Amino acid sequence: MQEKSALSVKGIVKRYPGVTALDNINLEFLKNEVHAICGENGAGKSTLIKILTGAIQAEEGTIAIEGIERKSFTPFEAMFKYGIAAIYQEFNLVPYLSIAENIFLGNEIKKKDGFLDIRKMNQEAKNALDILGIDLDPRVKVQSLTIAYQQIVEIAKAISHNVKILIMDEPSAPLTTNEVDKLFELVRNLKKRGVTIIYISHRMAEIFELSDRVSVFRDGRYINTFITAETDKKELIHCMVGRELLETFPQRKCKPSEIMLSVENLSSVENIKDITFSVRAGEVLGFGGLVGAGRTELVRAVFGADKVTGGTIEINGKKVAIANPVEAVKLGLGLIPEDRKQHGIISEMSIKENISYSSFKKVSRMRLIIPKYLKEIADKYKKLLNIVTPDIEKKIKELSGGNQQKVVLAKWLATDCQILLFDEPTRGVDVGAKQEIYELINKLAEDGKAIIFISSEMPELLGMTDRIIVMHEGEITGELTKEDATQEKILQLASGE
């Protein structure tokens, strides 16, 4: 049976200076379908979503909602009139408001006397969180939540309105396996209730598990739509990148040698408890665990970003005191953070300046910045990581999400760090660029650097590391060798059993 059209776009064009983000897009989304959209970083996926939610306007083309054509609408109309809600790559939560206040922002429940019905809003927020199976107090302020929990609040916000079309822009990226399962359950329930889900993802496995149809974008152009059951990973990837791509993890041509970083009984104010481990030159040491396990907090403590309350850190056999990140960098440590918006980039600066930001020595002579060096380094990493932009002088905030992540990586690769702490380095990065990052990490290891690799994506954690340490609630619950490690074993240790 042919399902009815929920939403369709015709001839959509959107240009930015130097790029055509969307070039004559025609596409139809049906009622009761999960419609995946995939494509490389900068393909135009998020731009389409922003047009569908009224956040930005297309220059040409129309949008038809249940058959009625419109040129454009406001975000308010999109949400409250047409029931189009989106969960963006970058969240829209107000940090100093509570979960419930965020959920009902702009749509507050009022009592008869006109005052806010706080109790009712807390109750309804709790209901939405319960549907998601998440035990959170709706009165808690959003700023105290981790990325994964902020994401959950975004989803709760969308479902608490009468949503007809729910757009998710890489919703699973910050979540771990258990939460992703919950997310899928929720998506399937919403679909049963007649909601159209538009699901953007770089993870092939998810697209195949969840979607009914999948559309591919490349360089601002619509390429094709497939019935998911009738296509395969190879065909999709080929369509996305326009060439064949390896699906395996690249092999490293090196063996771990001497210990470079050794951490003993480390504890921090952020609930890191008694952590002991070491990592060798040429080694990639993985850290697995669920959201909230303390992996990010651990690397922050090592990097001097959080206050350490006990324990010792040795670099190359010498005991060191790292009071802040500046000292950490001086000692040859680099942290590539998971939350690039907060800790990774300076949005008002250009791509070029962001890349060289931590390599002052390399781009300057006698404390003066040499523009030529600045450009050389930026050009080198733009090419190496395939950062898609017409011009490295552009502000970093104009890049697509995945390309911003590549700039953060470039910044740390440009410094000569000996010990690199990667926190979810491939989050939001497309299949082609993932492969490039894996190869880069291997090359760094082969150059004798010690690497810590935090990842919530099981295949890459298993495929990229020499050893995996698993954490739960700020403590280490086990360690697995490459030969021993399986997804099941990691999950078991991660749940603290």
Ligand X SMILES: Nc1ncnc2c1ncn2[C@@H]1O[C@H](COP(=O)(O)OP(=O)(O)OP(=O)(O)O)[C@@H](O)[C@H]1O
Q: Which residues bind ligand X (CB under 6 A)?
A: 16, 19, 21, 39, 41-47, 89, 388-389, 398-403, 430
The structure tokens listed for 196 are: 């159209």
Cβ at position 403, least distance to Mg ion in Å: 9
Three-state DSSP at 220 gives: coil
Query: Which of ligand X, Mg ion, none does residue 173 bind to, with CB < 5 to 8 Å depending on kind?
Result: none
Using an 8 Å Cβ cutoff, are 226 and 235 in contact? yes
Where does this chain touch Mg ion (CB under 5 A) — which range of 40-48, 57-65, 108-116, 296-304?
40-48
Query: Which of Mg ion, ligand X, none does residue 403 bind to, with CB < 5 to 8 Å depending on kind?
Result: ligand X
The residue ranges of DSSP E strands in 324-363, in sequence order, are 333-336
Please name the residue that has the structure tokens 């490349």: 218
Cβ at position 186, least distance to Mg ion in Å: 21
Is the torsion defined by CA of 176, 342, 383, 418 positive or negative? negative
Cβ at position 145, least distance to Mg ion in Å: 22
- List the Cα angle 220/221/223 in 5-degree steps: 140
Using an 8 Å Cβ cutoff, are 236 and 62 in contact? no
Cβ at position 217, least distance to Mg ion in Å: 10
Q: How many residues form the binding site for Mg ion (CB under 5 A)?
A: 2
By CB under 5 A, residue 401 contacts Mg ion: yes
Query: Which of ligand X, Mg ion, none does residue 388 bind to, with CB < 5 to 8 Å depending on kind?
Result: ligand X
Cβ at position 400, least distance to ligand X in Å: 3
Cβ at position 439, least distance to Mg ion in Å: 23
* Nearest CB to Mg ion, comparing residues 281 and 388: 388
Using an 8 Å Cβ cutoff, are 202 and 1 in contact? no
Compute the distance between CA of residue 419 and CA of residue 433 in angstroms, rounded to an integer.
Answer: 22
Cα separations (Å) of 81 from 10, 47, 77, 84, 161?
Answer: 21, 21, 5, 8, 11
Span 290-349, contacts to Mg ion by CB under 5 A: none
Query: Which of ligand X, Mg ion, none does residue 103 bind to, with CB < 5 to 8 Å depending on kind?
Result: none
Instruction: List the beta bridge partners of residue 315.
Output: 261, 318
Using an 8 Å Cβ cutoff, are 335 and 304 in contact? no
Cβ at position 222, least distance to Mg ion in Å: 16
Three-state DSSP at 191 gives: helix
Using an 8 Å Cβ cutoff, are 189 and 201 in contact? no
Provide the terminal-to-terminal Cα distance of the chain, rounded to the nearest Å: 47
* Nearest CB to Mg ion, comparing residues 49 and 417: 49
* Nearest CB to Mg ion, comparing residues 40 and 297: 40
* Nearest CB to Mg ion, comparing residues 88 and 357: 88
Cβ at position 389, least distance to Mg ion in Å: 14
Using an 8 Å Cβ cutoff, are 196 and 6 in contact? yes
Query: Which of Mg ion, ligand X, none does residue 398 bind to, with CB < 5 to 8 Å depending on kind?
Result: ligand X
Query: Which of Mg ion, ligand X, none does residue 176 bind to, with CB < 5 to 8 Å depending on kind?
Result: none
- Per this entry, what is the length of the chain? 497
* Nearest CB to Mg ion, comparing residues 46 and 196: 46
Instruction: List the beta bridge partners of residue 198.
Output: 35, 167
Using an 8 Å Cβ cutoff, are 492 and 458 in contact? no
* Nearest CB to ligand X, comparing residues 359 and 389: 389
* Nearest CB to ligand X, comparing residues 267 and 386: 386
Using an 8 Å Cβ cutoff, are 475 and 274 in contact? yes
Using an 8 Å Cβ cutoff, are 46 and 200 in contact? yes
* Nearest CB to Mg ion, comparing residues 171 and 337: 171
Compute the distance between CA of residue 286 and CA of residue 37 in angstroms, rounded to an integer.
Answer: 30
* Residue 199 neighbours by CB distance under 10 Å: 24
* Nearest CB to ligand X, comparing residues 334 and 432: 432
Query: Which of ligand X, Mg ion, none does residue 39 bind to, with CB < 5 to 8 Å depending on kind?
Result: ligand X
- List the Cα angle 135/136/140 in 5-degree steps: 170
* Nearest CB to Mg ion, comparing residues 49 and 272: 49
Query: Which of ligand X, Mg ion, none does residue 294 bind to, with CB < 5 to 8 Å depending on kind?
Result: none
Cβ at position 403, least distance to ligand X in Å: 5
* Nearest CB to ligand X, comparing residues 48 and 78: 48
Where does this chain touch Mg ion (CB under 5 A) — which range of 44-52, 79-87, 134-142, 477-485?
44-52
Using Cβ positions, the residue closest to ligand X within the complex turns out to be 402
Q: Give the list of residues 6+ apart from residue 492 with CB closer than 8 angstroms, or none.
A: none
Cβ at position 61, least distance to ligand X in Å: 15
Q: How many whole angstroms from its chain centre is CA 388?
A: 18
Using an 8 Å Cβ cutoff, are 42 and 64 in contact? no
Cβ at position 475, least distance to ligand X in Å: 35
Query: Which of Mg ion, ligand X, none does residue 33 bind to, with CB < 5 to 8 Å depending on kind?
Result: none
Cβ at position 112, least distance to Mg ion in Å: 44
* Nearest CB to Mg ion, comparing residues 163 and 429: 429
Query: Which of ligand X, Mg ion, none does residue 256 bind to, with CB < 5 to 8 Å depending on kind?
Result: none
Three-state DSSP at 80 gives: helix
Three-state DSSP at 264 gives: strand
By CB under 5 A, residue 46 contacts Mg ion: yes
Where does this chain touch Mg ion (CB under 5 A) — which range of 22-30, 42-50, 142-150, 457-465?
42-50
Per CB under 5 A, residues contacting Mg ion are 46, 401
